[in-house]
């Protein structure tokens, strides 16, 4: 009884807090003007500096110095990786409310909903929702509306209603946006900014050196990135993610023909603070990359990716590198797929023994042929390394500057 009462009190306090924040935000909207060329960015609910908003904002810094870039983070988020030319603002502060009222462009990579972020859109403002994936394996948005819940669907519809631009990196994703995102606005088929890095040789080399230095990985080592997705918001078990790397590394060394193999384990951001990663990295040359600020840097630095249902497999495929799937719960996973997971070009293992077998029997030529056909025919890949440039050009063309 007391727990029910406590839950109700917490709910109404949260509602009152949001109402109060929206009143303050609306006050500044009435008193302050929109500043031409001002850009406000955030990613993953104000928790990370990365993904598409990061790569777009860094492109703008280099090519449009007259534009003003802000990034918003929740209290306690490590912002040491943020470019010093970017102004950092804390979420839900007076400075944040003023920024909401005066920025010309709002840029994010995931759903928010205006009321939740205390935003009242102005006629001069443009909202760019640069979704955090270019191709999807798991069914998302309207295609699984019955599983997302009323609150999320309502928020997603509100989000799409105020959105001025979405982007696509494939024909498959363009069709998905039209069908399932409750959005009928402009779609720019330019690729996604975070994948521009994969077309930049110097950028890839720089990422590799940063990763090696950050984790103390010896130069010349082969790097394998293990990046499984999350199962559900309520699940905190590590069992689906556990691998005996002492066994698997031996097979990897034989496949690569290299004694020096390092593993970086990267769990999904939704599991940060909810799952103890220490048992997953309790091996020699295995490192915890869950809190590393940028997934794309890890992907660009890796020689091989092991995942399960994550769309990172498609990002990684833009580079033509080796990806394998390790999924012990294929028949139980309840999100549904856009592709038959057993027909993808990526070798699939449903147990640790199968993973070792797939590694030891890997055929590089057959894999390359299957991957190229899949990316061109099934996915309709549109990535060219110019996404940031084309989005920035769109912003200039639609600016009040």
DSSP class per residue in 21-60: HHHHHHHHHHH-PPPTTEEEE--TTTT-S-HHHHHHHHHH
pLDDT in the model for residue 273: 75
C-alpha span between 174 and 151 (Å, rounded): 25
**How far is residue 353's CA from residue 336's CA, in Å, rounded to a whole number?**
25
Structure tokens at 112: 């928010």
Query: Quick one: tokens of 104?
Result: 């010309």
Residues 224 and 362 in one domain: yes
CATH code, domain with 223: 3.40.50.12580
Report the predicted TM-score, pTM, of the whole model to 2 decimal places.
0.89
Does residue 43 sit in the same domain as residue 142? yes
CA–CA gap between residue 372 and residue 287 (Å, rounded):
31
Tokens of 298: 């890890």
Report the Cα–Cα distance between both ends of the chain, in Å, rounded: 58
Domain that holds residue 143: 25-195+385-397
In angstroms, the CA 360 to CA 349 distance is 12
Q: Is residue 10 part of a domain?
A: no
**Domains of the chain: total:** 2
Q: How many CB atoms lie within 10 A of CB 236?
A: 12
**Does residue 1 form part of some domain?**
no
Same domain, 254 and 393: no
Burial (Cβ within 10 Å: 0-12, 13-18, ≥19) of residue 117:
buried
In a domain, 258, yes or no: yes
Answer yes or no: is 16 within a domain: no
What tens-digit pLDDT sequence spans the chain (401 residues)? 445 666 666 667 677 777 888 899 889 999 999 999 999 999 989 988 989 999 999 999 999 999 999 999 999 999 998 999 999 999 999 999 999 999 999 999 999 989 889 999 999 999 999 999 889 998 999 999 998 989 999 999 999 999 999 999 999 999 999 999 999 999 999 999 999 999 999 999 999 999 999 999 999 999 999 999 877 655 667 888 899 999 999 999 999 999 999 999 999 877 777 788 899 999 999 999 998 888 999 999 999 999 998 999 999 999 999 999 999 988 877 568 899 999 999 999 999 999 999 999 999 999 999 999 999 999 999 999 999 999 999 999 999 98
**How many Cα atoms within 13 Å fall on the side-chain side of residue 294?**
25
Which residues are CB-contacts of 294 (< 8 A; sequence separation ≥ 6)? 49, 50, 51, 54, 81
Which of 96, 116, 194 lies closest to 162 in space, CA to CA?
Answer: 116
Q: Is the C-alpha dihedral spanning 108, 112, 114, 116 positive or negative? A: negative
The domain spanning residue 60 has which CATH number? 3.40.50.11820
Residue 294 lies in a domain: yes
DSSP state of 218: P
């Amino acid at each position: 009884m007391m727990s029910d009462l406590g839950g109700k009190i917490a709910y109404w306090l949260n509602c009152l807090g949001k109402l109060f924040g929206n009143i303050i935000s609306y006050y500044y909207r009435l008193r302050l003007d929109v500043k031409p060329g001002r850009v406000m960015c955030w990613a993953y609910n104000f928790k990370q500096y990365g993904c598409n908003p990061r790569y777009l904002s860094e492109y703008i810094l280099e090519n449009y110095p007259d534009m003003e870039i802000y990034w918003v983070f929740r209290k306690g988020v490590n912002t040491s990786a943020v470019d010093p030319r970017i102004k950092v603002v804390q979420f839900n502060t007076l400075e944040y409310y003023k920024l909401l009222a005066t920025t010309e462009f709002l840029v994010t990579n995931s759903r928010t909903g205006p009321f939740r972020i205390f935003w009242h859109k102005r006629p001069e403002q443009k909202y760019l929702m640069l979704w955090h994936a270019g191709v999807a394996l798991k069914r998302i948005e309207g295609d699984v509306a019955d599983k997302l819940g009323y609150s999320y669907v309502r928020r997603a519809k509100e989000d799409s209603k105020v959105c001025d631009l979405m982007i696509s990196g494939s024909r498959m994703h363009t069709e998905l946006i039209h069908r399932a995102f409750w959005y009928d606005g402009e779609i720019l088929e330019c690729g996604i900014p975070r994948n521009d890095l994969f077309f930049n040789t110097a950028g890839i080399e720089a990422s590799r050196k940063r990763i090696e230095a950050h984790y103390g990985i010896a130069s010349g080592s082969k790097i394998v990135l293990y990046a499984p997705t999350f199962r559900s918001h309520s699940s905190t078990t590590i069992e689906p993610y556990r691998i005996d790397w002492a066994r698997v590394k031996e097979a990897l060394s034989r496949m690569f023909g290299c004694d020096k193999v390092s593993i970086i384990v990267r769990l999904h951001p939704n599991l940060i603070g909810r799952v103890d990663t220490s048992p997953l990295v309790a091996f020699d040359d295995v490192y915890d990359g869950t809190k590393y600020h940028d997934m794309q840097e890890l992907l660009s630095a890796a020689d091989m990716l092991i995942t399960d249902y994550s769309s990172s497999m498609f990002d990684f495929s833009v580079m033509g590198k080796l990806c394998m799937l390790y999924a012990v719960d294929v028949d139980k996973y309840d999100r549904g797929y856009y592709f038959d997971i057993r027909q993808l070009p990526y070798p699939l293992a449903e147990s640790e023994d199968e993973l070792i077998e797939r590694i030891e029997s890997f055929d590089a030529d057959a894999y390359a042929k299957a991957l190229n056909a899949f990316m061109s025919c099934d996915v309709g890949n549109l990535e060219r390394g110019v996404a940031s440039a084309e989005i920035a050009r769109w912003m200039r063309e639609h600016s009040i500057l």
